[in-house]
Amino acid sequence: MLDFSLSAEQTQIRETIRSFIRREVMPLEPQVLRNERAGRPALEPGQLRELQFKARQAGFWGINTPEEYGGIALGPIMTSIVTMETGRSFVPFSFGGAADNILFSGTPEQQQEYLLPTIEGERLSCFAITEPGAGSDARNIRTRAVRDGDDWIINGEKTFITGGNEADFVMVFAVTDPELGANGGITCFLVDRDMGWKSDPIPTMGEWGPASLVFQDVRVPHRNILGEPGQGFALAMQWIGLGRIVIPSHAIGAAERLLGMAIEHAKNRVSMGHPIAEYQAIQWQLADSHVEIESAKWLTLFAAWQLEQGRDNRHASSIAKLSGAVMANHVVDRVLQIHGGMGYTKELPIERWYRELRLLRIFEGTDEIQRRSIARNLLKGHAKLGELGG
């Protein structure tokens, strides 16, 4: 018999984190809105570290970090559930003690220099594969790395890099053997900022502040190759694969919070002598939103379950990412509509969520790329209809 319930331990973790977000994070929302609208950072680094330290005292540090590195290694399913809880607030909070999953592939020396300081919050990283001419088509990157004795010389440009303005080192992917293409010709390098790469902020319609990175004759020691030479594309897909669970999880948390706002408003807003919750037009928007949220939630948890079982979850994670991103945009649009003119003002945070959630349909693989992958898997027989469990 299938059992979709959380264990007692999982339920306790979820409720503890939900309480932490309500008590420590959500009260910062008015301040975050004021800061962002004044052109200042949403949270100062010290504020974020203070929040993370409070969470660490409560036992939440390194949510998905192996225990041997000081984390609690909750696994993909609980990582998804935790992300749903943090997604309930637009305050840019994340639990400390984390590092990019591919950094664990580093040598012992690289782990000492990059991984462990990142886990402790002493260093900041960014992941750089996207280029002006290679977005969803990551295989088409043009940044080059040429061997020069014991060093490599990197030239090229990366764009829309999350954390690129703040990072002090980058995991950059460059072509090292054009003849081999993606499978064997791309290598990942760990490159400190003081090695010479530059970053510039890219203004966006939302609060996401990506960067463009420029590498001009940046010299990198051979020992700074992450993983094996030529195997960078596999590392990149490993990094992106985790994001395709985290993104819909975040979307679910945000959508549930927004739907709760809409339900409360519908009960209290009176129009033509009745609460608007009594009107079918409003009821259907609430119902459709709930159905879509629940659908995305179970698709996402299924993809996380496959990953936790060690199964190939690429097809399931594409479905989850597409479903979660589209759902969140539907929900926030309905919630704004239910609030009417007030939803469109900056007095409420709905317009901020509206801009933030629009990004989910673009980064970590656009809607179109997800549909392409799903369709190809079906046409080639990699995914079969009528199966249960995957």
- The residues assigned a catalytic role are 364
Q: Which of 183, 168, 97 is nearest to 138 (CA)?
A: 183
Residue pointed to by tokens 């975040």: 250
Coil, helix or strand at residue 89: coil
Coil, helix or strand at residue 380: coil
Cβ 200 vs Cβ 164: under 8 Å: no
Tokens of 255: 């959508």
DSSP 112-129: IIIIHHHHTTSS-EEEE-
Tokens of 207: 């609060």
For strands 151-161 and 225-226, give the pairing: unpaired
Residue type, 113: E
Q: Which of 187, 281, 306 is nearest to 236 (CA)?
A: 187
Helix axes 75-86, 280-308, angle to 10 degrees: 150
Cβ 294 vs Cβ 251: under 8 Å: no
The span from the CA of 212 to the CA of 17, in Å, is 35
The span from the CA of 277 to the CA of 264, in Å, is 9
For strands 225-226 and 169-175, give the pairing: unpaired
Cβ 329 vs Cβ 358: under 8 Å: yes
DSSP 148-211: ETTEEEEEEEEEEETTTTT-SEEEEEEES-TTT-HHHHEEEEEEEGGGS-EEEE---SSS---E
Q: Which of 134, 145, 138 is nearest to 195 (CA)?
A: 145
